[in-house]
Structure 1
Amino acid sequence: MQVQLSPKPAPAEWGEAALLSHATAGWMIHHSEASQIQQAARRLANMGLREVQLTGAWTPSLQWAFAQGFMLSKGEVTLRWADAPDEILQMLEQRLFCANWVRKLTNASPDALGPLELALETVTFLSELAPGLITHRLLKGDALLEAGWVGLHAVGRAGAQAPVMLELDFNPTRDRRAPVSTCLVGKGITFDSGGYSLKSSEGMLTMKSDMGGAALLAGALGYAITQGLTQRVKLILCCAENLVNEQACKLGEILHYRNGVSVEIVNTDAEGRLVLADGLLAAVESGATRILDAATLTGAAYMALGGNYHAIFALDKPAQQAFLAHAERAQEPFWSLPLEPWHRQQCPSHYADTANSRPVKGGGPGGASNAAGFLSRFVPADGAGWLHLDLAAAFCDNGNHLWAPGATALGMVTLANWLQDVEHAS
């Protein structure tokens, strides 16, 4: 089925503001904004179209907008791009390949994708894109505790599968002494029951997607590699299942992190920040000049942004603005939420340096900022070069006018372009 763009309004019989009308060879889209193109593609997918040929004058950004809407949560679709130079077509194919990998991994059922599988799938995916340029190390189970990664071990020790930390190194220079420009840290909770702070059945249903941060960062690194990334980048994934048994982390436990910070557990469903703290400490040890973590971290970010934007937090405001400039160019919606040094004190504890949350539903007012403040304890004091992404738009539970049910891969293009930003990586 052919799909074309038209600068003219739809015929009157289709309605004054119709997105679509039927043409002789297929369908005509009567709008030229990216969000409207994505909506039109969503409608065509919902009509049952499974194979589409874009024809006529399409910019790369509008073709990508269509591709984001023209997808399914089960089954496959075939999208053929409009005529364009070979380098544009190759770029679109590589982008779609990486985004589909993110979606497939995030949508995988938790019985099929445990912590070790998540780590190994990531290694395979990136090694195939950059043969000979990827090295990695896995720490699993009690080896994490021996290495001092207390947060990841505590969260994952009740899992049906042992927790895993993946440290992956993409080094296109092949020089072991080359500086690390950027270190990415991803939350890889392959299923989140909430632990003893047990979620409701409804709240638990989509918690296979709680590794969406890990998948998105791996997909973004993969896409950046296909676009010629020349900087050395490390990827740290903190992978675990947050389950309940006699070994599970208990409320009131105190963890002592490698940087000397002690943390009282007041909510076992605030587990993502516990594992990210280890990942951030590892990132600091890498010597990277930029550190970015990404996680499906708080319901508070979702409540603030409605599932339409990713939240970004930073103490380093120029670094935040540079990232947001990339997001604007990629037409991917990110929104900055407040983070100041005093947010570190917003999760007080009588018994430790800090608690991992507030002992109230949702972490209380400003919960997403308080979580970011907690994480800021595990990066250098002024937060220079550190960005925190709370991925409120990583997963669309039931689908909507823009997205099929499941993972969106939103933000992948922004992240890949930011990784290639040599000026801000030096």
Structure 2
Amino acid sequence: MTATATAKGPRLDIIARQDATSDYFPVHLTTTAAPACFAEGTNTVPRKDGGFDIIVDTADDRCIQKAGRTVASTGLTKVQVFIDSPDLKLDVVTATQFVVGMYSDALENGSLAVAFDLNEAALKSVRRNVNIITLARIFANSPNNIYHTVDFVTTYYHELEKAYNEAIAVSNLSSGKLSFKLYTPEDDFFKENCIGLQTVGQSSDYAPCLGVIDFVGEGADNSKIDIALVGKGIAFDTGGYDLKPSKFMETMHTDKSGLVYVAAATVLAAAMGVRKHVRCYLPCAENRISANAMVPGDIITYPNGVKVEIGNTDAEGRLILADGLILASKDKPKYILDAATLTGAAKIAIGRDMCAVLNRTNSMDAQMAEAFAYTKEEYWLLPLREYHKRYITARRAQICNTSHGDGAPGASTAAAFLSFFVDPEIKWTHLDLANAFHKDSSPYYGTGSTGATVYALAHWLVGAEY
């Protein structure tokens, strides 16, 4: 089965406004309220000279992304953007936001063309950003019958590599070294180090795997890892024998979003010229039902000695993240970050418009916060305390993969589980990607995978110093 359409996605044309032809529909972003003849709250007003006024509220940091979503809701896919207010700023970040807002999964086999009043250097940066972010959105949302585990990870990496090479070819940056390795159950390394992947993946006819992306930027030490990332890649999650209800299973092809987003962030940072050695662990498996599948009560022991009792087969993502976190800790980087669509509890706590951040310090890393603010992406800090570990005690092992007890805070207990697999001497942050996918559109994102956090994490990788 081919996946050409899915892999390629929409045609994206980002051009200078001076080069826009007459078929580029004019949209004017303004802070001026709609005339009195329009209903209160109207944000799209037709202009006498043609085109639309899109009314934005500068109190919202993501107002230009919201404007992109508003434009898309009219059905327009080919526009030229005018800024009609001194309070609005068009630059690489806000132009990227606008295109991110316009995109939805309905465009995956179509086209999107936007003309901005930016110089060519800025336009190259916008193209680089939206190409890689859109690639992430396409692959995170790809159907399970298109790619399975090994094919998914390898195909996605090669598409990212192409995007990286294209970006470097038109930039003034010196390229670093981007490389990829894949480990499967036939490899001794996999057998020795990937206990979680083996446990989850044994349920499927499609073998689990571990992809590893390395980028060594100009001047970086190849022998030392500066930052390690780990992304959860459950290619499809049925819940296993603790079967999900159908209404929760229909979007489980996106349970690989953590893997997809950290890989995209790594490659985008590489294309932006990061001068570090960044390693990205991509554990990938399917959680299915079979005679070989794990069942509640199973006990597994990880290479770091932590013994885990399976309390619920639908808490599988943390089992494969543990593999990546142990390996990342062995690398002795200055920082470890993991990202995952890990809990429904995070969505209940903060909704789907931001990601949850948890770490041992219970404060947002200052450099990460700066990157999120710069790229105008949202997060919310949730607690991770020592006492959260009491919710994951096990009768026959050190910990259980799911929480118990009245009022157990699911996002915090999931992070508490992960903490057992991270070297306590290494800085670590866990992102629970509540905003990874929107079944229905929001003011900022169309339907489908959002690509949220990719841009912020790329900026963090470039600028962070520890």
Q: 1:170 aligns with which of 215, 219, 225?
A: 215
- Partner residue, 2:313: 268
Q: In the TM superposition, what is the alpha-carbon distance from 1:397 to its structure 2 partner?
A: 1.2
CA drift of 1:234 comes to 0.4
Partner Cα separation in structure 1 for residue 447 and residue 328 of structure 2: 33
Matched, 1:366 2:395: no
In the alignment, the residues of structure 2 paired with residue 55 and residue 389 of structure 1 have an alpha-carbon distance, to the nearest angstrom, of 36
- 2:164 maps to 1:133: no
Q: How far apart are the structure 2 equivalents of 1:117 and 1:386?
A: 30
> What does residue 46 of structure 2 align with?
22
CA contact (8 A) 2:213 2:263 kept: no
Q: Is residue 115 of structure 1 aligned with residue 149 of structure 2? A: yes
Find the aligned partners of 1:40 and 1:80 in 2 and give their Cα distance: 13
Query: TM-score, normalised to structure 2's length?
Result: 0.85
Q: Once structures 1 and 2 are overlaid, which stretch shifts more, 351-360 or 152-161?
A: 351-360
Equivalent in 28, 31, 51 of residue 4 of structure 1: 28
User: What amino acid is the match of 1:307?
Assistant: R
Task: Please give the residue correspondences for 1:239-318 in structure 2 after superposition, counting only pairs within 5 Å.
Answer: 239-317=284-362
Residue equivalent to 1:399: 441
Give the secondary-structure state (helix, strand or coil) at the position aligned to 2:231. strand
Alignment-derived partner of residue 22 in structure 2: none
Q: 2:388 is paired with a residue of what secondary structure?
A: helix
- The answer to whether the 8 Å contact 2:375/2:455 transfers is yes
Say whether 1:388 aligns with 2:465: no
Deviation at 1:353?
0.5
Could you tell which deviates more after superposition, 73-82 or 18-27? 73-82
**Count of paired positions:** 421
Letter in 2 for 1:59: L
Aligned equivalents of 1:136 and 1:364: distance in 2?
Answer: 42
Q: Secondary structure at the match of 2:75?
A: coil
More displaced 10-residue stretch of structure 1: 90-99 or 24-33: 24-33
With 249-258 and 87-96 compared, the bigger mean Cα shift is at 87-96
Q: Deviations over 1:281-338 (max 9, x none)?
A: 0101122111000000000001001111100011145663432232122211101100
> Is contact 1:169–1:235 with CA below 8 Å preserved after alignment?
yes
1:340 partnered with 2:385:
yes
Is 1:346–1:373's contact at 8 Å kept on the other side of the alignment?
no
Query: Please, which moves more after superposition, 191-200 or 40-49?
Result: 40-49
Deviations along 1:195-239, one digit per CA (max 9) or x if unpaired, are 011000110000000000111111111211121111110010010
Moved over 4 A (4+): 173-177
SS at match of 1:228: coil
1:42 to 65, 69, 73: 69
Query: TM-score scaled by structure 1?
Result: 0.93
Alignment of 1:324 onto 2:374: no
- Amino acid of the residue matched to residue 391 of structure 1? L
Unpaired segments ≥5 residues, structure 2: 1-24, 166-174
2:139 aligned residue: 105
Calculate percent identity across the aligned residue pairs. Answer: 32
Residues 85/289 of structure 1: CA separation in 2 closer, same or farther (3 Å cut): same
1:31 is aligned to: 56
Provide the residue aligned with 2:422 in structure 1.
379
Any idea what the Cα deviations from partners look like across 1:163-200, whole Å, max 9, x if unmatched? 00012211134877442110110001010000011000
Q: CA RMSD in A?
A: 2.1
Q: Is the 8 A contact 2:219 2:275 kept in 1?
A: no
In the alignment, is the contact (CA less than 8 A) between 2:105 and 2:446 conserved in 1?
A: yes
The whole-number CA distance in structure 1 between the counterparts of 2:442 and 2:390 is: 38
Question: 3-state SS of the aligned residue for 1:255?
Answer: strand
Find the aligned partners of 1:81 and 1:13 in 2 and give their Cα distance.
30
Cα distance in 2, alignment partners of residues 46 and 160 from structure 1: 41
Distance 1:359 1:190 in 2: 27
Alpha-carbon deviation of 1:142?
5.0
What residue identity is the alignment partner of 1:125?
A: E
Query: Are 2:151 and 1:86 aligned?
Result: no
2:98 maps to which residue?
66
Q: 1:321 to 1:245 in 2, by over 3 A?
A: same
**In structure 2, which of residues 201, 204, 211 is the aligned counterpart of residue 156 of structure 1?**
201
Cα distance in 2 between the residues matched to 1:422 and 1:338: 23
